[in-house]
Structure 1
Amino acid sequence: MSPDRPLGVFDSGVGGLSVLAELRRALPGEDFLYLADTAHVPYGARTDEDIRDLTARAVAALHARGAKGVVVACNTASAFSLTHLRERYGSGEGPFPVIGLVPAVKPAVAATRSGVVGVLATPGTLRGSLLQDVIRQWAEPAGVRVLTAVSADLVPLVESGRAESDEARAVLREVLTPLRDAGADQLVLGCTHYPFLAGSVRAEFGETFALVDSGAAVARHTRNVLCGAGLLREGGAGGSVTYLVTGDPERARPVITTLVGGAGQNTQVMQVST
């Protein structure tokens, strides 16, 4: 496997662009293939089997296009699919690394002063065992109370370019007010779409919550994994991104362009099947 091959990044939609931004900062020499399964987003309300199948198909598509590894930049897909993917492709740090996300409960627990941490999650992430595992590992021994808030409406709002709309603020106000009233001072963003809602959270709640996500941590971990596998590309031009979607590329293009900060640019988005 050549280090010059691109690194795959997968999400159910455009939320993984928040992780891609961190990966590009940590790995400036890498080229990336970003695949958004926009034909099937959101994943949160889908069955466990459906999530695993869609994720496996997407990772297989990236593998077939020459990716040297994949970052599953989707909390719901990570919660249900990582074990199955690693059984298929080998160890998470093997010849085709499969790297996933873990909800950022650990840093939130370390930072809280009130002893109450909130987690904003999708229905799928809340249903999976991964979140409960990290709560048991990090919050319970520290005596920190973890409260969860869930909404099926937020991902579609980000996907449609309405992350800072009045509608998004209304949903956030409804689901996060109980966390504020309970004293939460840390808010774990348990979906890669949710960092794009930071402006709306601030507009509604000011500095009530410190917002915590796993993007920077997964980028550091990815660098370590690639280095350990002899797959890190440090020289050369690098830095390119190919955007792939399973749905309508014309519909996805303006949202992707806005979220990657490319206003006024003609972002190239291609449709693929998985």
Structure 2
Amino acid sequence: MMQPAHPMHSVNAEAPIGVFDSGVGGLSVLRHIHAQLPHEHLVYFADSGHAPYGDRAEAWLVERSLAVARFLFGQGIKALVVACNTATVAAIKAIRAEWPGMPIVGVEPGLKPAAAATSSGKVGVLATDSTLHGAKFLQLRDQIASASNTEFLLQPCIGLVDQIELGELGSKETVALLEGYVVPLLKDGADTLVLGCTHYPFVEQVIRGIVAEHATHPVALIDTGDAVARQLARLLEGAGLLRPAGTAQLRGYTTASASVLADAFRGLLGLAPVIEAVDV
């Protein structure tokens, strides 16, 4: 029988949960995990030194995601959340193959809840170019479109992740970018918008402002961070790995500037973990 590349390491309920993203976007998922599982130790990895992921080739994304996962499993984590839509689409299959049996949760654009929410039958999907061209995403789109008679309008948001990484959440440049991406979807009849990148919830209020100004119909926004946290909780409970009580610890790693990630934690989540810059 073929042996896994990394044998199952011994884990217990006291071990931390690892969360990673290309940068600060995964903090939008971390906040849901922190809220739903307040007793869990968390380790966040921002691969900002190699960001953005959205315009990278699939082979590169797989290699990079495996490198980050190896680092986090080397920290003794009991579960991994791939809090990046682009990395999930490209690499989660490879990650699960290397660590079979470990609780591993990915994120994907919320097409199914969006199809349930739409009245017009038209859903706009805001995501990176890599996510929207990934085979996994396109298969999911086709399945849900066929089953629900929903039309998904795909909108790559070139440059938006860069603006969010810079902390330019409400700048004129960011607003202009979002208007260029959102307004055409509204004009095409979309009454539901999927935030298909974990960075995008941090500009949700800007998007809502654009919707309020330009939409002639009610528009729902879909963010799957809460669903990811619930799925993680189910997997941990099923494996007997939930940490029931105690003060939780939070720490962060980044392949770029520790102070920049610390500023993001403080500004976006109001948290101040110890941050370490690493070469991974």
Query: CA shift at 1:267, angstroms?
Result: 4.7
What CA deviation, in whole Å up to 9, does each residue of 1:19-78 have, x standing for no partner? 001111111110100000010010010111111111111111111111111100000000
Structure 1 segment 1-274 matched on structure 2, within 5 A: 1-90=11-100, 94=101, 96-206=102-212, 208-238=218-248, 240-262=249-271, 267-274=273-280
Amino acid at match of 1:151: C
Percent identical residues: 39
Separation in 2, partners of 1:241, 1:64: 17
SS in 2 for 1:243: strand
Distance 1:42 1:26, change over 3 A: same
Long gaps (5+) in structure 1:
none
The runs of at least 4 consecutive aligned structure 1 residues that moved more than 4 Å come to none
RMSD between aligned residues: 1.3
What CA deviation, in whole Å up to 9, does each residue of 1:127-160 have, x standing for no partner? 1122212212222221111101112210011100
TM-score normalised by L of structure 2: 0.91
8 A contact 1:106–1:139 mirrored in 2? no
8 A contact 2:250–2:273 mirrored in 1? no
What CA deviation, in whole Å up to 9, does each residue of 1:52-107 have, x standing for no partner? 111111111111111111100000000010111111100xxx2x222111210101
The total of aligned residue pairs comes to: 266
TM-score normalised by L of structure 1: 0.93
Long gaps (5+) in structure 2:
1-10
8 A contact 2:250–2:274 mirrored in 1? no
Separation in 2, partners of 1:204, 1:4: 44
8 A contact 1:115–1:145 mirrored in 2? yes
Separation in 1, partners of 2:245, 2:276: 27
Separation in 1, partners of 2:239, 2:209: 43
